């Protein structure tokens, strides 16, 4: 695999990044099997591994740490913080108080002295972005992390963070990690142009659209909901739901594109994000060795303009067939009080 420079950091990473969300009790609870997957990925040329403290409540980081013993220097290791890691307040978020605790916990679980890329897993409107950037800058200066980035941030939040870093003389976000797939192209509107303009590295997640681009789920066919993502979110796989029907309809058309190219749907799906000039690396998250091998075959698929034009006709650029799972919604949309005047103000008007 040809390596790409990650967001001007000088660190060179493979075009595919091994995501480990499925390592641990949520996915694959066999630590030895997970280690074999890690080693197989490294042997195939992947040198980029991404995890997070909240994956299986820290178990994923522990698995990754054990798997990388003896090979740590060969890997660009990324992890993330933000989501709650225990009961009670101040056990998550983007505050300095939590960051300095979270990084020590991740270093311990990963069994390493440094993290190459430390990422803010989601925005946190209860914490001033300067507070977050200042704490992360201190970690770089202390040598505990080499660089930091963000994940699933909207374009305006990325721009604001860069402005704050410039004004305050702080280190800036070097990377962004957005959801991006054949079925979820919304980030093409604003996020990818912004990361490209700011010289950030972009590592995209969910290229298989939570399993809908694996080929397992097809229109008019019985769907096995007994394993994988359907067990976590069964409602998202209900064939009677309008969003599910829209996904399955698009899948049928994309299968035809893959067949004409002589590849499988998963191979087409993992090749597609890399065709965008803003994308540095695509995160693949296998649960089994078979899934890893099937996904990596996408590295040999080259998409020409004719193929990309056909994809554009099925899912237009910048559009989402469905809202990507796990995407962040700003409080202005989720908290009614932030978008409604008080009853007194409304009556006075």
Catalytic site positions: 55
Neighbour count for residue 31 (Cβ, 10 Å): 15
Using left for φ > 0, alpha for ψ between -120 and 50, and beta otherwise, residue 192 falls in: alpha
Contacts of residue 169, Cβ cutoff 8 Å, sequence gap at least 6: none
Contacts of residue 242, Cβ cutoff 8 Å, sequence gap at least 6: none
- DSSP code string of 253-317: HHHHHHHHHTS-HHHHHHHTGGGSTT--EEEE--SSHHHHHHHHGGGG----HHHHHHHHHHS-T
CA separation for the pair 297, 339 (Å, rounded): 47
| Burial bucket for residue 1 (CB in 10 Å: 0-12, 13-18, 19+) | middle
């Amino acid at each position: 695999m040809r390596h790409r420079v990650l967001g001007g950091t000088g660190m060179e990473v493979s075009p595919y990044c091994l995501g480990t969300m499925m390592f641990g009790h949520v996915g694959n609870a066999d630590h030895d099997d997970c280690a074999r997957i890690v080693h197989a990925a490294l042997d195939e040329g992947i040198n980029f591994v991404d995890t997070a403290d909240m994956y299986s409540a820290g178990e994923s980081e522990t698995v990754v740490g054990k798997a990388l013993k003896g090979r740590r220097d060969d890997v660009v290791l990324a992890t993330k913080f933000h989501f709650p890691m225990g009961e009670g307040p101040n056990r998550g978020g983007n505050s300095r108080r939590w960051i300095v605790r979270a990084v020590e916990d991740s270093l311990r679980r990963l069994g390493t002295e440094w993290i190459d890329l430390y990422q803010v897993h989601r925005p946190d409107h209860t914490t001033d972005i300067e507070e977050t950037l200042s704490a992360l800058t201190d970690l770089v200066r202390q040598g505990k992390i080499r660089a930091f980035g963000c994940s699933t941030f909207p374009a305006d939040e990325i721009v604001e963070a860069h402005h704050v870093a410039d004004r305050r003389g702080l280190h800036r976000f070097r990377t962004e990690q957005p959801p991006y797939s054949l079925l979820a192209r919304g980030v093409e509107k604003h996020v990818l142009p912004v990361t490209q303009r700011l010289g950030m590295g972009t590592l995209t997640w969910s290229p298989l659209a939570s399993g809908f681009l694996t080929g397992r789920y097809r229109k008019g066919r019985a769907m096995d909901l007994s394993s994988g993502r359907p067990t976590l979110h069964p409602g998202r796989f209900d064939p009677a739901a309008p969003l599910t029907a829209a996904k399955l309809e698009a899948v049928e058309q994309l299968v035809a594109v893959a067949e004409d190219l002589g590849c499988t749907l998963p191979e087409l799906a993992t090749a597609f994000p890399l065709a965008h000039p803003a994308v540095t690396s695509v995160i693949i998250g296998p649960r089994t060795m078979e899934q890893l091998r099937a996904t990596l075959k996408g590295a040999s698929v080259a998409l020409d303009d004719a193929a990309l034009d056909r994809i554009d006709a099925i899912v237009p650029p910048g559009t989402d067939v469905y809202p990507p799972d796990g995407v962040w919604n700003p409080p202005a949309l989720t908290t009614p009080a932030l978008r409604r005047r008080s009853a007194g103000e409304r009556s006075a008007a």
